[in-house]
Amino acid sequence: MLKAILESAVAAILAIDSSGRIQIANPAAEKMFGYTADEMIGKPINILMPEPYQGQHDSYLQRHLTTGEKHIIGIGREVKGLRKDGEIFPLHLSVGTFEVAGQRFFSGILNDLSARARLQAEIDRQSLLFQAVFDHVPEALVISSPDGEVILVNPAATRMFGYSTEDVLDLSTLFANPQDLEKLETGDTDSVGGRTIAVPLRRRDGIEFPGQGHVADIVGADGSRIAIVSLFRDMTEEMRQKEAALKSQRLEAIGQLSGGIAHDFNNLLTIISGNLELLEETITNKQDHDLLSRAARAADSGARLTNRLLTFARRRQLASAVINLNEQVRGMTELLRRTLGDTVELRTHLAPELWLARVDAGEVEAAVINLAINARDAMPDGGKLTIRTENATLEEGEIGFEGPLTAGEYVRISVSDNGVGMTKETLSRVFEPFFTTKPPGRGTGLGLSTIYGFVKQSQGNITIYSEPGAGTTVNLYLPRSIDAKQAQAAAAPETRLAKGETVLVVEDNRDVRTLTVKRFERLGYRVVECVTGAEAMEVLKNGLKVELVFSDIMMPGGITGLDLGKWIIENRPSLPVILTTGFAEEIAGTVTTDEDSWTILRKPYTQNDLAEIVHKALERQTA
């Protein structure tokens, strides 16, 4: 029976005699120390002890035997054991004493505490980890009691809210509207068992900022709420970026819409002004002629308007050239002085050694005039207008009107005034077409929107700074030109007459086609008409003799003007092709690498433009 108890005991049981030698060791003791019972029996007990126990044991035993001091006797203490393999481990030891036949013995019951020690180490490790996370997460973490008294805040929270860790405060004081806390506590829980809301927060100094709050309960084993964890994020930067993205999306959408309308109008205006031009030549009556030129002028204004819309929508074909913006500004100062009047003082600061810019000179001029007029309007009682040019390198991460600017080298042209400036609301909408704060008849709202589109399409950046009462500065960043080719002056157009060549006109729109045919005939060319690209290929395959092909780019039926052009290059390489379009975009999207090899005429065009381009194409052919 006793033997069975020894054998089955979960605790290690050892007995030693009064000289400290092991007399009994049960199987649990073998397992605990790694020795067999035979290896232990007869050996001094201190082989199972690490220092300092090893050295102390004999003297304790001696003292107990001589003075009865019970240092080692009694219920449990935590000590260390030494395994055969050298491992030191914590154990719980209770020592008793007994006599058999006048001989003194000591019994020990030992429990291995390694598992508990491992658990403790794990708990220590976890709390270290928790502390590290708590200290280093960018989000503010606040732990409070169920009634809202703050118990613990992390460093991010003290930074975000401006309180020190010691400041005792109530959770609700972190909210701009304290009742928002209730919303967080009672709202629907999300997938991670908490509640999240966008909520304005308040710093200690009273400053409010957009935030996101997340609250989760810490529930005890009995299901009661023992604490609340709140996590806060400062959303200022996100909101700013979101706003900027929304703003540019809105401009993009307006651009799509107005670009589409402008494109259709361009086609209509091409028909109107073209037909008017043809009519003009047949009319001799002075009165009818007046009516006609009024209509033509209106069509011209319409074309200018649609062109500005196309510019805003970034669908204008820009005539980019290498220009020196200083020369450009110098060339404009007289015009600007006259435009601005006597009350506005014009100053220019032109940087020496200014880089050359690659940009459409006409558009830059229009932009500067528009900016100057805006400045004049902002200074009804006079003021200063400054135009400044500078080399500017934009680094990664700089912020402009609609988020980050594109890094790179630019030539910057700035137009500043010390006029009335703009409110935040006005500033946020100035690039929208038709947005104006001016009385009807004074403003069209197409100034800044057009500039915006032109700058964007030129791969530039635009930034604008304005303070009510202080003034406004608009900066245009125009891309630096790397090759130093000089600007080419455009040749003055003149009407050229044909020598009876035949032109193949390909155009799906009946009215436009009829007009185009008439225009060519008026210039002295013979014309063959085709409605689709496929039809044109067919007649060319059948051996039709023509000297030039004039085709619209966008045509239904799968074969575009570009496809036709490519087919001609392959099959009739000596036949010149002129393509026509209302969009710059169509061209940008399709003709990128070999843009120069196409001759493109943009709608709406005048009879002069047509004569010029056709003549050139034929001339190049015979040369």
- Report the nearest approach of ligand ADP to the CB of residue 472 (Å): 4
- Report the nearest approach of ligand ADP to the CB of residue 388 (Å): 15
- Between 255 and 447, CB nearer to Mg ion: 447
CA distance 452 to 475: 11
What count of residues does the chain have? 623
- Report the nearest approach of Mg ion to the CB of residue 375 (Å): 9
The residue range among 27-35, 247-255, 443-451, 517-525 that interacts with Mg ion, by the rule CB under 5 A, is: 443-451
Single-letter amino acid code for the residue at 93 = L
Q: Which tokens in the block code for residue 295?
A: 């209509």
The residue range among 15-23, 249-257, 372-380, 548-556 that interacts with Mg ion, by the rule CB under 5 A, is: 372-380
State the binding partner of 437 from ligand ADP, Mg ion, none, CB within 5 to 8 A by kind.
Answer: ligand ADP
| Extended strands (E) in 44-192 | 74-82, 88-100, 103-112, 140-144, 150-153
Long-range contacts, stretch 335-338, CB < 8 angstroms, 24+ apart? 335/369, 336/368, 336/369, 336/372, 336/385, 336/387
Q: Which tokens in the block code for residue 486?
A: 């000089």
Q: Hunting for tokens 């613990």 — which residue is that?
A: 152
- Report the nearest approach of ligand ADP to the CB of residue 378 (Å): 3
CA distance 301 to 309: 13
Q: Which tokens in the block code for residue 595?
A: 């843009």
The residue range among 283-291, 446-454, 483-491, 573-581 that interacts with Mg ion, by the rule CB under 5 A, is: 446-454
State the binding partner of 356 from Mg ion, ligand ADP, none, CB within 5 to 8 A by kind.
Answer: none
Q: Which tokens in the block code for residue 560?
A: 């575009």
Single-letter amino acid code for the residue at 192 = V
- Report the nearest approach of ligand ADP to the CB of residue 263 (Å): 22
- Report the nearest approach of Mg ion to the CB of residue 444 (Å): 7
Task: Give how many residues touch Mg ion by CB under 5 A.
Answer: 2
State the binding partner of 586 from ligand ADP, Mg ion, none, CB within 5 to 8 A by kind.
Answer: none
- Between 417 and 552, CB nearer to ligand ADP: 417
**Residue 18: which residues within 8 A CB-CB, separation 6 or more?**
61, 65, 103, 104, 105, 106
CA distance 76 to 79: 9
374 near Mg ion, judged by CB under 5 A? yes
- Between 17 and 467, CB nearer to ligand ADP: 467
- Between 116 and 438, CB nearer to ligand ADP: 438
447 near Mg ion, judged by CB under 5 A? yes
State the binding partner of 289 from Mg ion, ligand ADP, none, CB within 5 to 8 A by kind.
Answer: none
419 near Mg ion, judged by CB under 5 A? no
466 near Mg ion, judged by CB under 5 A? no
Three-state secondary structure readout of 357-378: EEEEHHHHHHHHHHHHHHHHHH
Q: Hunting for tokens 């690490």 — which residue is that?
A: 50
In the Cβ-directed half-sphere of 297, how many Cα atoms lie within 13 Å? 6
State the binding partner of 375 from ligand ADP, Mg ion, none, CB within 5 to 8 A by kind.
Answer: ligand ADP
- Between 419 and 453, CB nearer to ligand ADP: 419
Task: Give the nearest residue (CB) to Mg ion.
Answer: 447
Candidates 198, 186, 199, 191; CA nearest to 228 is 186
Q: Which tokens in the block code for residue 604?
A: 């709406």
State the binding partner of 438 from Mg ion, ligand ADP, none, CB within 5 to 8 A by kind.
Answer: ligand ADP
- Between 329 and 344, CB nearer to ligand ADP: 344
- Between 420 and 504, CB nearer to ligand ADP: 420
CA distance 623 to 619: 6
Dihedral angle of Cα 506, 511, 515, 521, to the nearest 10 degrees: 60
State the DSSP code for 551.
E
- Between 419 and 576, CB nearer to ligand ADP: 419
Q: Which positions touch ligand ADP (CB under 6 A)? A: 370, 374-375, 378, 417, 419-422, 426, 430, 435-438, 443-445, 447-449, 472
- Between 177 and 444, CB nearer to ligand ADP: 444
Q: Which tokens in the block code for residue 433?
A: 């077409």
- Report the nearest approach of ligand ADP to the CB of residue 414 (Å): 12
State the binding partner of 435 from ligand ADP, Mg ion, none, CB within 5 to 8 A by kind.
Answer: ligand ADP
List of residues contacting Mg ion (CB under 5 A)? 374, 447
